[in-house]
Chain A
Amino acid sequence: MRVTWTAEGAVMRLVFRLDAEDSITGFCADGQPLKLATNSFRVELPRGPHDVHPDLLALAAWTVVAPWTRRAVTFDRPISPGLALALQEGWGIEAGPVGGAPRSGRRLAISYSGGADSVAVAAMLPDAPFVHFQRVSHPRVPNRWTHYRSDVLARLAERTGRELTVVRSDLEFTLAEPRPGYPEHHAVAAGALLLADELDLGGLAFGYELGSRWLGGDRYLLRYTPDNPMWAPHGAWGRAFAAAGLHIVLPVGGVSEAVTMRLALGSKLREQVRWCLRGVDGPCGTCGKCLYKELIQAAVERRPLRTTVGPKRPVARKWQEPPPYGGQEMIEYGCARVPGVEGTVFGRAAGFLGATEASTAWLDRCYPPAIEEIPEPWRKEIHDFMATEVGFMSRDQARRVETWGMS
């Protein structure tokens, strides 16, 4: 893989070319097969052009091209030996040319999406600036996904009143299958990487929570993953980001989506919380994500489920089938707490899971190792917040995390 950045004012463009051994089908760090759509994208920064450290340029490119790189990656500027080593050890990829000095920064920014998880992070770190990634159409790929209202999310981010940088990019359209999206989960940080020098960033906080970091949630393994390659600090991606002087920080990595939901809905940014990608004046209430989040919200608010989605709808189909489910811990949590859940679309899942409030109580507490792995400069603030607002898991509760998906 060979990558070339060019800057046109504040717009950074990247073109990449496959080496002989690279191919159209590659794999995300979570194992998902991905098909390449096209080999160029742009990132529009609010100001520019900037003099960006070569390691940041290289890592931003790597968040997109990694799935399709088999043997070697050639950047257009020499990278630091540390980053080359991280790519070598994390992926077995030969990266070069090597020759630069490493970089570092001091501030912590939040990769802010506007969902409950990142709002919870924002509530924990009231002084941290936001970097928001906004999807825009790619000039070469027809946009068949206009229901994705990234403009609405960007507007909501502006209404938070926080220090905010919106980065617009079409990099998601480099991915053809399964659908446009981040080739690697870390591509959401492409803008933050390119801005890291200007904002003096030494860390980037993501809203990835307990399920994503420790329980192998979403499309990943669905079991306890202390060595998660995406989010563990000693995993491939954690080390690559650290080598580029922008540490991955997961302030809510130790708590479940029930806790992030509670923190988000209790925060000053409550009005700006939006997990739905489709709704304009509010969440659409009909997509799969709305349904899933409604279960969690109903559980947190201890009220019956409010939804118009019936069991026959495609978004509700998977809950009619037996587990495992992605995000299963939250389905258990919801089914154990929502009054009258038997009569809802989650009724069958509730029957399969047989969860109780006692069996899901661990999801209301923070998993202590998640705090220990937060980089030192920001650990105390996050630790103190967790101690006062959430509380830590007991030894037995922590064992629930550590045996997840094993029985």
Chain B
Amino acid sequence: MVRLRKRALLPAGLRRAVRGWFDARYISRADHRQDIKDALWEVQTLGREVTALRAEVDKLREQVAKTGPEQAQVRRWDDAHRLAQETAVAMDQVLQNEVLLWQAVDRQATDGQSVDRQGADRQGTDRQSVDRQGADRQGTDRQSVDRQGADRQAADRQAVDRSSRSLA
């Protein structure tokens, strides 16, 4: 344009017309100004919204923190978990001990019998020990269907008696 102005002397009217024609192809200064204003307004609105959302997030975070378990509660849960584990391990031991106890009982019973009987035939001893097993099972197995509740209790007592004798 500058060069054009220097090189060719255009009549003012024509120049204005050409300029006007060029300018018409672009957005006007006023429109630019308005656009910038609008954009600024939008940015400010968004800024306000972000601030509001942040506040809400903080509020929700606080709520979550509040609804979460208290330290004391967590400690109690941990404690219960530890206790459950230890009880289960202890229970394993008890069950194993019970098996060993019956082993000792049986050994004692077999020894006693073989001394008593002085060479009674082995088949007979086996038969008896199998029968006794059946009776003892009632004692061993507290979960079994209770067919004769009172008898079972008696058997339990007997079983305990027997085991304490053999341990003595």
**Is residue B130 contacting chain A, with contact meaning CB distance below 8 A?**
yes
* Interface residue tally for chain B (C-beta within 8 Å): 29
From A11-19, A189-197, A232-240, the one touching the partner chain is A11-19
From B24-32, B62-70, B134-142, the one touching the partner chain is B134-142
A39 touches B99 (CB 8 A): yes
**Is residue A10 contacting chain B, with contact meaning CB distance below 8 A?**
no
B140 touches A2 (CB 8 A): no
* Smallest CB gap from A139: residue in B: B143
A2 touches B133 (CB 8 A): yes
* Smallest CB gap from A4: residue in B: B133
What are the residues of chain A within 8 A of B100 when measuring CB–CB?
A: 18, 24
* Smallest CB gap from A22: residue in B: B103
| Contact pattern, B 82-98, Cβ under 8 Å of A = 1, otherwise 0 | 00110110011001101
Given contacts A24-B96, A142-B87, contact A8 B145 (CB under 8 A): yes
| Contact pattern, B 6-25, Cβ under 8 Å of A = 1, otherwise 0 | 00000000000000000000
Distance of B143 from chain A, by nearest CB (Å): 4
**Interface hits, A109-164 → B, CB 8 Å:** 139-142, 144
A19 touches B103 (CB 8 A): yes
**Is residue A221 contacting chain B, with contact meaning CB distance below 8 A?**
no
Distance of B97 from chain A, by nearest CB (Å): 9
**Interface hits, A67-93 → B, CB 8 Å:** 74, 76
**Is residue A249 contacting chain B, with contact meaning CB distance below 8 A?**
no
Given contacts A4-B137, A6-B137, A15-B137, contact A37 B95 (CB under 8 A): yes
Distance of B86 from chain A, by nearest CB (Å): 11
What are the residues of chain A within 8 A of B71 when measuring CB–CB?
A: none
What are the residues of chain B within 8 A of A140 when measuring CB–CB?
A: 95, 142-143
* Smallest CB gap from B105: residue in A: A17
Q: In whole angstroms, how far apart are the Cα atoms of A110 and B87 in the complex?
A: 39
What are the residues of chain B within 8 A of A38 when measuring CB–CB?
A: 95-96, 98-99
Chain A CB within 10 Å, residue with most, of B88, B103, B106, B143: B103
Distance of A137 from chain B, by nearest CB (Å): 11
**Is residue B107 contacting chain A, with contact meaning CB distance below 8 A?**
yes
B126 touches A74 (CB 8 A): yes
**Is residue A28 contacting chain B, with contact meaning CB distance below 8 A?**
no
What are the residues of chain A within 8 A of B91 when measuring CB–CB?
A: 141-142
* Interface residue tally for chain A (C-beta within 8 Å): 27
What are the residues of chain A within 8 A of B106 when measuring CB–CB?
A: 2, 17-20
B107 touches A39 (CB 8 A): no
A142 touches B99 (CB 8 A): no
**Is residue B129 contacting chain A, with contact meaning CB distance below 8 A?**
yes
What are the residues of chain A within 8 A of B107 when measuring CB–CB?
A: 20
Q: In whole angstroms, how far apart are the Cα atoms of A74 and B96 in the complex?
A: 21
What are the residues of chain B within 8 A of A19 when measuring CB–CB?
A: 103, 106
Given contacts A4-B130, A35-B96, A142-B87, contact A40 B140 (CB under 8 A): yes
**Interface hits, A95-120 → B, CB 8 Å:** 97
Distance of A22 from chain B, by nearest CB (Å): 7
**Is residue A370 contacting chain B, with contact meaning CB distance below 8 A?**
no
What are the residues of chain B within 8 A of A76 when measuring CB–CB?
A: 130
Distance of B138 from chain A, by nearest CB (Å): 10
Q: In whole angstroms, how far apart are the Cα atoms of A40 and B84 in the complex?
A: 23
Q: Among B88, B99, B142, which residue has its beta carbon within 8 angstroms of that of A144?
A: B88
Distance of A34 from chain B, by nearest CB (Å): 12
Q: In whole angstroms, how far apart are the Cα atoms of A38 and B142 in the complex?
A: 13
Q: In whole angstroms, how far apart are the Cα atoms of A33 and B126 in the complex?
A: 30
What are the residues of chain B within 8 A of A2 when measuring CB–CB?
A: 106, 129-130, 133
Q: In whole angstroms, how far apart are the Cα atoms of A22 and B137 in the complex?
A: 19
**Is residue A36 contacting chain B, with contact meaning CB distance below 8 A?**
yes
Residues of B at under 8 Å CB distance from A? Answer: 84-85, 87-88, 91-92, 95-96, 98-100, 102-103, 106-107, 110, 126, 129-130, 133-134, 136-137, 140-145
Residues of A at under 8 Å CB distance from B? Answer: 2, 4, 6, 8, 13, 15, 17-20, 22, 24, 35-40, 74, 76, 97, 139-142, 144, 176
17 A-B residue contacts at CB 8 Å?
A2-B130, A2-B133, A4-B133, A4-B134, A6-B134, A13-B144, A15-B133, A19-B103, A20-B110, A22-B103, A24-B99, A24-B100, A36-B99, A37-B96, A40-B141, A74-B126, A74-B130
Assuming A13-B141, A142-B87, A142-B91, what are 20 further A-B pairs, CB within 8 angstroms? A2-B130, A4-B133, A6-B137, A8-B145, A15-B140, A17-B102, A17-B103, A18-B102, A20-B103, A20-B106, A36-B96, A38-B95, A38-B99, A39-B140, A139-B143, A140-B143, A141-B95, A144-B84, A144-B88, A176-B96
